[in-house]
Structure 1
Amino acid sequence: LLDEPTNNLDLYARRRLYTAVGNWPGVMVVVSHDRELLELVDQIADLRRVNTAARSASVEGGGGRRVGEVTWYGGNYTAYEEALAVEQEAAERMVRVAEADLRKQKRELSDAHAKLARSKRYGQKMWDQKREPKIVMGARKRAAQESAGKHRIMHEERLAGAKERLDEAVEAVRDDDEIRVDLPYTAVPPGRTVLTLTDLELAYGARVDGGFELRGPERVALIGRNGAGKTTLLRTVAGELPPVSGETTAQVPLRFLPQRLDVLDGELSVADNVARFAPGATNNRIRASLARFLFRGARADQKAVTLSGGERFRATLAALMLAEPAPQLLMLDEPTNNLDIASVRQLTTALESYEGALIVASHDLPFLESVGITRWLLMEEGELKEIAPEAVGRPG
């Protein structure tokens, strides 16, 4: 039984683990968000929270109990994604059908009310004009009321059924919303110098001999063994650690997302935390931007200390990317550690909107490839070296 076995492992240790898993002769159960590891499995059990409350109760505003439900998929992660895509396409189609049915039932109920109102007016007119004996008109009125009641109940039941079917269809659609933000002020012109490192010696022994330049909206992957000095380099560039010698010069505004995610003030709300980084922004602008990071309405008023791991990551990312001045160099240190697959996908889509320079220290090769890395840097034996993409290699 392996519980998130690749968390905090460097690329080299991951390769050894992948080999061991591939060669394992017995039964293995793995809890993981590592996509490469999941390519080695035979089945995937997808544990997802679902609402067990009666659909009608949720329609009336009642809260449902959220519990885990397991769905089994044969094959590895690629097969799982393909099967899930087919399922979601069918689920979204069912939502459209259910929405159309709900609209139809609402129209029919409205038409029924209008028809009954006309009948009632006609009956009242006949009563007022006394064109028939009172006993006949009374019997006709009672029959009409009884018929109207049955008719109304029938249409209301159909409408309730349509709402329930729509709720069930919506429940089947995954709510792994994507972050979509517009960040035009983060743009860096091609060729502009963003960062310069000169004969840099870092704390704990790592160094950057000679000079290193980052230009334009390049996207740099920083890889290497644990303890090689990747985090030390990023913290030095961010100004959190002084260099032993040499210098680091950032020519544009930069922000650093550390592994610890300790950027937020736990006692402040998500909105107030973002306001700390963008003091000139109006409350409406902050909330509109946070909605794109999936903090809509009251969610923006949650205290940071109450957030889940994925929510805390999104709030921290929002605070850094919406900061003023807009960061034109963003540095991320092991951003996918402890993130589930949906959160990694959200991070990837957020970075698609980012137009500045990017440095990412990570051991997650699928993630690095998904964000469009243009240069690969290896921190090895205390030295920073540039390597070709094919030299990075992939676990066998």
Structure 2
Amino acid sequence: MSHPRPSVVCHYLSFAWPDGGTVLAGLSTTFPRGRNGLVGRNGSGKSTLLRLIAGVLSPTAGTVSVRGRLAHLAQSTPGAAHTTVEEALGIATVRRALAAVERGEVTDDVLTAVGPDWDVDERAHAVLASLGLGALPLDAPLSRLSGGEAVLVRLAASLLTRPEVLLLDEPTDNLDRRARERLYEAVAGWRRTLVVVTHDRELLEHVDRVGELRDGEVRWYGGTFTDYESAVAAEQEVARRRVRTAASDVARQQRELLDARTALDRRRRYGRKMEQNLREPRVVMGQRKRQAQVSAGRYRNLHQDRLADARDRLSQAGDALRDDRDLRIDLPGTAVPAGRTVLVLDGLATAVQGPTDLVVRGPERIALTGPNGAGKTTLLDTVAGRRAPRAGTAVSRVPLRYLPQRLEFPDERLSVLATVASAAPPVTDNEIRARLARFEFRGREADRPVAALSGGERFRAALAALLLAEPAPQLLILDEPTNNLDLPGIAQLVSALTAYRGALLVVSHDHRFLDELGIDRWWRLAGGGLLETPVAHRPVVSG
């Protein structure tokens, strides 16, 4: 059976920033026709690889070849506020030329501007309609659109070029649920070559294969994200067995080396005793001694070589183990008894939401959903006391902590230890170090300044500062916590929140993440009203 030629080929690709920071070194991989998902830890070079393929960056070594027209939807390139939809789609010049033709102003320049795009309006509306934006006027300014709609317009601009190869970099970031579902449909229906970098696990259920960029190499797994997870889990189980076998072999070789040394010591003592008793001529004794020394050296070296080989096998087996550890934490101080009143909204109204009466009791887990611009962040800010209500009150009856979308630290020059200590004044530094170890900040890691942390480390530090605060938070409010987290980071967050025993109020468009948290109540904010959705009617995530 013949396989289709790859649409994108990366050959010994290297890239380094001008300051010398190396991102990729000699990477070789191919992207075949179909839907390719690309995952990896933050900072592994996924976005850089897409920009190299798109020609936005030039490699320091190696080559990239692309078959066919390419379109690239970068991670975050918002248009200017005055930009119109037609300008964002890249068809404004053609539409002006068509308007000139309709007025009878037919010139060579006008015809050149139109080119083959006489049906550009029809194609533009068709592409927008496929993304749920069929009623959008082409002369509307982007400033009137939601963030999700603006992203979909940028995607439509890419689709209008009829690309053979489409590159998408974190396309669901900041998209509300409706916009995400439109994007999922567009990806599911893609029949040419797609490369999508994403941490959105639902989106990855629509791809044909998943490539993981790790340690400067891409490893490919057939199927969706669920298939990828199963394959990695199987690989890790094999790796753990090999580590156990190798560790057992090291222990056995150490025992055998010790036994060999003990036996050699006995021989030496016996040889000295025989020499003292002079039972054999001195010449014979000397010859026996030299032979024994040579034999002992070989015997000792044999066991030392075996031990070194066993240690090498253990090291190689350990290299296959991933360091994607969960945050296994126990937080008894956060526990809330069932039935205790935690939060009371009494006629609460914000700038975009009408009066609401709601009560949260016990360790309930509540998801707040709704379209972009509905006022979810405004509501959270008001409940957390960061913003004054328009009317009514929001009263928390237990200690409350809030993690906004944009991670905030009092002073990023402070160490992780000092940052957490400032939120827990009564606790000693030694106790804080012990607690920080649960968040993977051990030893010197806890002494690093916040400003020097990576994105995932910053999130762990912020989460530690919240959960280790004194008094312990019994109501935790999170606003889009999975934004900008890589897949292992999301897994760590789920692990930490699973151990959390207080009440939880979280805004997220990631329904798979919400399902893993075990949400008890679903609130939806839309049209200025806050409504509760019965759990039986909650959104269902497939895959």
- The TM-score normalised by the length of structure 1 is 0.92
Contact 1:274 1:322 in 2 (8 A): yes
Structure 1 counterpart of 2:524? 378
RMSD between aligned alpha carbons? 1.4
Structure 2 counterpart of 1:63? none
Structure 1 counterpart of 2:287? 139
Note the residue ranges of structure 1 that are not aligned, 5 or more in a row.
50-67
Q: Which amino acid aligns with 2:402?
A: F
Corresponding position: 1:32 with 2:198: yes
Corresponding position: 1:149 with 2:315: no
Corresponding position: 1:179 with 2:327: yes
CA distance in 1, matches of 2:188, 2:377: 31
Counterpart of 2:434 (choices 288, 295, 314) is 288
Structure 2 counterpart of 1:114? 262
Q: Which amino acid aligns with 1:113?
A: R
Structure 1 counterpart of 2:422? 276
CA distance in 2, matches of 1:393, 1:350: 23
Structure 2 counterpart of 1:216? 362
Contact 1:187 1:217 in 2 (8 A): yes
Query: How far does the alpha carbon of each residue in 1:119-173 deviate from its partner, in whole angstroms, 9 at most, with x for none?
Result: 1111122222322222211111111111111111111111111111111111112
Query: How far does the alpha carbon of each residue in 1:181-229 deviate from its partner, in whole angstroms, 9 at most, with x for none?
Result: 1111111111111111122222xx3224241111111100011111211
Structure 1 counterpart of 2:30? none
> SS state of the match for residue 35, structure 1?
coil
Counterpart of 1:230 (choices 376, 380, 383) is 376
Q: How far did residue 283 of structure 1 move?
A: 1.6
Contact 1:18 1:395 in 2 (8 A): no
Contact 2:477 2:505 in 1 (8 A): yes
Corresponding position: 1:124 with 2:290: no
Structure 2 counterpart of 1:53? none
> SS state of the match for residue 194, structure 2?
coil
Contact 2:416 2:447 in 1 (8 A): yes
Alignment of 1:233-382 (within 5 A): 233-263=379-409, 265-382=411-528
- Distance change in 2, residues 1:210/1:235 (3 Å): closer
Q: Which amino acid aligns with 1:106?
A: Q
Q: How far did residue 237 of structure 1 move?
A: 1.2
> SS state of the match for residue 290, structure 1?
helix
Structure 2 counterpart of 1:104? 252
CA distance in 2, matches of 1:225, 1:184: 35
Contact 1:6 1:14 in 2 (8 A): yes
Q: Which amino acid aligns with 1:28?
A: L
Q: Which amino acid aligns with 2:304?
A: E
CA distance in 1, matches of 2:323, 2:428: 29
Q: How far did residue 384 of structure 1 move?
A: 1.2
Q: How far did residue 391 of structure 1 move?
A: 4.1
- The TM-score normalised by the length of structure 2 is 0.68
Contact 1:188 1:328 in 2 (8 A): yes
Q: Which amino acid aligns with 1:105?
A: Q
CA distance in 1, matches of 2:191, 2:435: 50
CA distance in 2, matches of 1:210, 1:338: 32
Structure 2 counterpart of 1:7? 173
Corresponding position: 1:79 with 2:245: no
Corresponding position: 1:206 with 2:352: yes
Q: Which amino acid aligns with 1:178?
A: D
CA distance in 2, matches of 1:300, 1:122: 56
Q: How far did residue 394 of structure 1 move?
A: 4.8
CA distance in 1, matches of 2:534, 2:411: 40
Note the residue ranges of structure 2 that are not aligned, 5 or more in a row.
1-166
Q: Which amino acid aligns with 1:281?
A: V
> SS state of the match for residue 202, structure 2?
helix
Deviates more, 1:219-228 or 1:208-217: 208-217
Structure 2 counterpart of 1:69? 217
> Which entry has the higher C-alpha Rg, 1 or 2?
2
- Distance change in 2, residues 1:87/1:210 (3 Å): closer
Contact 2:345 2:393 in 1 (8 A): yes
CA distance in 1, matches of 2:457, 2:276: 67
Contact 1:15 1:395 in 2 (8 A): no
CA distance in 1, matches of 2:217, 2:273: 60
Q: Which amino acid aligns with 1:229?
A: G
Structure 1 counterpart of 2:71? none
> SS state of the match for residue 330, structure 2?
coil
Query: How far does the alpha carbon of each residue in 1:301-354 deviate from its partner, in whole angstroms, 9 at most, with x for none?
Result: 111111111111111111100100010000001000111111111111111111
Structure 2 counterpart of 1:92? 240
Higher relative contact order (CA 8 A, sep 6+): 1
Q: How far did residue 392 of structure 1 move?
A: 4.4
Q: Which amino acid aligns with 1:272?
A: A
- Distance change in 2, residues 1:301/1:135 (3 Å): same
Q: How far did residue 296 of structure 1 move?
A: 1.5
Corresponding position: 1:193 with 2:341: yes
